[in-house]
Amino acid sequence: MDKYIINGGKRLTGEVEISGAKNAAVAIIPATILADEPCILENVPSINDVTIDLRILRELGADVKMLNRNTIRIDPRPIRDMPVPYELARSMRASYYFLSTLLNRFGHAQVPMPGGCYLGDRPMDQHLKCFRSLGAKYSIEHGVVNIEADTLYGTHIPFDKVSVGATINAMLAAVKAEGQTIIENAAKEPHIVDLANFLNSMGADIMGAGTDVIKIKGVSRLHGAEYAIIPDQIEAGTFMIAVAATKGDALIKNVIPKHLEPITSKLRKIGVVVMEYDDSVRVIGQGNYEHTMVRTMPHPGFPTDMQPQFAALLTLANGTSIINEGIFDNRFRYADELRRMGADISVDGKMAIIEGVDHLTGAPVKATDLRAGAALIIAGLSTDGVTEIEDIYHIERGYDNMDGKLRAMGADIVKRTFSESIRQAI
């Protein structure tokens, strides 16, 4: 019920420090279950999806200690053989990584079907295909996936489609299987490489992560490790667009510029100045941007997780822009909300057509999912009026202190809790 209230029209300036990557963290945290010693994870983002992951680990019996805001010590040794609690698993997509990790640890696992953002149909057939190929049996009953295997055997897994989650589950399942596993048509996102690096630092033998083919030689044990999670390229891209949309000038720090290339090149194409340094990028917004065409694709293509934010920027560009969503069936639910703010955007299946307008106006809107919420923040920051964004729990699932970071850059954004909203209304 909490809201963000944005009094828009302020240029973003100064600098912002990007947090650790959500989609790497939600894979690496359950991966600690595979270790037979404690692990220390650094640069962990302080976001609700991580909180849920840690609650699941604690419910299972792990000893989880926060060493500071972004460093966590996880001792997986006390974990008990029990089902993953229903409500926790249902509240995030990445809970499916407990399938492979608990299967590896106990020879079976019971994990409720995952939740997460509604972006259209999100089947799990490729995950189940990989478990079956490795020799596991599964059933789905009463909304829970039950999976078991006395031993997992290395095998060949040619995925029918590129899936981040299924690639990660295949790596987590195969890492301790008997013999060699070859994953073909693997996803290549930076978080796939990050997970492979973490597992290798624990003693795994994984080669080829970041390419189409990943080779894994199973090992019998994984030891503890101390590991720093990579910066979040989607959070970085979101701030880059926010700076551009407010005609600001700011340094985005703690990034890997290479991971941002698909975003950087699109921003440059429409007229945003982006300067790259070793571990930061400076963005200078000019206004008066050109229209463009965007098609989202698996990495290294333009990321689907940046599509709503980029669309928000294109609502203010000159001429007609076209967005083709190449990953999910329903990732334009934010269009209705942007229209409330005066955007001219029409959606036809997996394509959106945006006619640039002169300006947007503040309005009451709802975050329909995580990245849709980020798009509404960007739209709100770029207009002169007041924008109230409801359902910000979606945003807090994946952005670490978004409002605080924006305030430090000059934005007028406050979070109002529900009780405060009522108090102000009476």
Among 52, 60, 74, 94, indicate the residue that binds ligand EPU (CB under 6 A). Answer: 94
Nearer to ligand EPU, 189 or 390 (CB): 189
Q: What angle do CA 122, 377, 50 make, to 5 degrees?
A: 50
Among 91, 95, 126, 133, indicate the residue that binds ligand EPU (CB under 6 A). Answer: 126
Residue 4, SS3?
Answer: strand
Residues in 388-407 at the binding interface with ligand EPU, rule: CB under 6 A: 398
Nearer to ligand EPU, 186 or 316 (CB): 186
Strands (DSSP E) contained in 214-349 are 214-217, 226-228, 249-253, 273-276, 280-284, 293-295, 320-324, 344-348
Helix ranges (DSSP H) in 319-411: 334-340, 370-382, 393-398, 402-408
Taking the complex as a whole, how short is the minimal distance between the CB of residue 4 and ligand EPU, in angstroms?
18
Q: How far apart are the first and last CA of the chain?
A: 17
Which of these segments, 125-133, 177-185, 239-247, 344-352, binds ligand EPU (CB under 6 A)? 125-133
Which of these segments, 118-126, 225-233, 236-244, 383-391, binds ligand EPU (CB under 6 A)? 118-126
Taking the complex as a whole, how short is the minimal distance between the CB of residue 166 and ligand EPU, in angstroms?
5
Taking the complex as a whole, how short is the minimal distance between the CB of residue 143 and ligand EPU, in angstroms?
17
Taking the complex as a whole, how short is the minimal distance between the CB of residue 77 and ligand EPU, in angstroms?
26
Q: What is the DSSP letter of 260?
A: G
Distance in angstroms (rounded) separating the CA atoms of residues 58 and 65: 10
Taking the complex as a whole, how short is the minimal distance between the CB of residue 327 and ligand EPU, in angstroms?
5
**Binding string, residues 150-189; x marks residues near ligand EPU by CB under 6 A:** -----------x-xxxx--------------------x--
Distance in angstroms (rounded) separating the CA atoms of residues 244 and 212: 33
Residue 117 falls in the annotated catalytic set: yes
Output the CA–CA distances (angstroms, integers) from residue 310 to 262, 328, 426, in the order listed: 12, 16, 38
Residues in 64-93 at the binding interface with ligand EPU, rule: CB under 6 A: 93
Residue 294 in the binding site for ligand EPU (CB under 6 A): no
Do 148 and 127 contact (CB within 8 A), yes or no?
Answer: no
Residue 327 in the binding site for ligand EPU (CB under 6 A): yes
Do 409 and 13 contact (CB within 8 A), yes or no?
Answer: yes
Sign of torsion, CA 77 78 81 83? negative
Nearer to ligand EPU, 309 or 383 (CB): 309
Output the CA–CA distances (angstroms, integers) from residue 337 to 8, 291, 341, 345, 368, in the order listed: 16, 21, 7, 10, 9
- Counting residues that bind ligand EPU (by CB under 6 A) gives 26
Distance in angstroms (rounded) separating the CA atoms of residues 86 and 158: 31
Nearer to ligand EPU, 117 or 317 (CB): 117
Q: How many CA atoms lie within 13 A of 286 on its CB side?
A: 13
Among 117, 171, 214, 409, indicate the residue that binds ligand EPU (CB under 6 A). Answer: 117
Taking the complex as a whole, how short is the minimal distance between the CB of residue 172 and ligand EPU, in angstroms?
13
Token pair belonging to 308? 């709503």
Residue 223 in the binding site for ligand EPU (CB under 6 A): no
Among 125, 261, 279, 344, indicate the residue that binds ligand EPU (CB under 6 A). Answer: 125
Single-letter amino acid code for the residue at 150? D
Output the CA–CA distances (angstroms, integers) from residue 13 to 110, 237, 282, 412, in the order listed: 48, 16, 10, 13
Nearer to ligand EPU, 10 or 93 (CB): 93
Taking the complex as a whole, how short is the minimal distance between the CB of residue 164 and ligand EPU, in angstroms?
4
Q: Which of 56, 103, 117, 199 is catalytic?
A: 117
Residue 370 in the binding site for ligand EPU (CB under 6 A): yes
Residue 304 in the binding site for ligand EPU (CB under 6 A): yes
Closest residue to ligand EPU, judged by C-beta, is 165
Angle, helix 190-201 to helix 22-31, in steps of 10 degrees: 30
Residue 209 in the binding site for ligand EPU (CB under 6 A): no
Nearer to ligand EPU, 91 or 163 (CB): 163
Residues in 9-48 at the binding interface with ligand EPU, rule: CB under 6 A: 22-23, 26
Nearest to 229 by CA among 71, 66, 55, 36: 71
Do 329 and 121 contact (CB within 8 A), yes or no?
Answer: yes
Residue 328 in the binding site for ligand EPU (CB under 6 A): yes
Catalytically annotated residues: 117
Where on the chain is the footprint of ligand EPU (CB under 6 A)?
A: 22-23, 26, 93-94, 117, 121-127, 161, 163-166, 187, 304-305, 327-328, 370-371, 398
